[in-house]
Amino acid sequence: MRARTQRELVLLYLPDTGADDFAGAPLPRLLQSLRINCRQLTADDFGRTVAQVFTGAPGVAVTGDDAVPPAAPLMLMQGLERPRMDKLLQAMREHDLQVDLKAVVTPQNQRWPLCRLAGEIGREHQLMNAYFALQGRYKALRAVSPQPESWTEPLARAETLLNTRPPEDGAEAHTRLLQQMADELASLQAGL
């Protein structure tokens, strides 16, 4: 068995859980049962870099609107090897504990302000949700037989959009396109 090279640590931001209630909240209790160290993130942490937050090191803080924490829970993982992470995620599913904003700390993102990482994770989550919503609508309409001729063009546009990678600097615009196309297909589906 390989020795763990980095201490397992999960940082959690649970916006509706105060400091006094954190240890008794379901997700921290689950982490404790899996023997995974866990710490609570506070709103003040979002102005520091990811590395500073994990190590507890002081540092220059980002201030202003950029340092605002997300409205949704956030989970950052460090030092968990793939089997341990899979076990954690499976246990979360089994206990119906959902955290949409999750990330693994990497050498690249540890230098980012935590608020920037949270924003990126949020945008990725929105993009994925829009993609899967469109994909579901597309598959549902493709399964209809016979298909009205009026569906040919919208389904072709949807297929093209589903097969297009979002541009690096245009993920938000791509998310809007996915959402609009899903809405268009939903209106076709409602007309059945």
Q: Which amino acid is at 29?
A: R
Question: What digits encode the pLDDT tens for the residues 5-62?
Answer: 568 999 999 988 887 888 889 999 999 999 999 999 988 899 889 999 988 877 666 6
Question: What digits encode the pLDDT tens for the residues 54-67?
Answer: 888 776 666 665 67
- pTM listed for this prediction: 0.80
84-121 burial string, b = 16+ CB within 10 Å, else e?
Answer: bbeebbebbeeeebeeebbbebeeebbebbbbbbbbeb
CA distances to 71, 75, 96, 172 from 23, rounded to whole Å, are: 20, 15, 18, 36
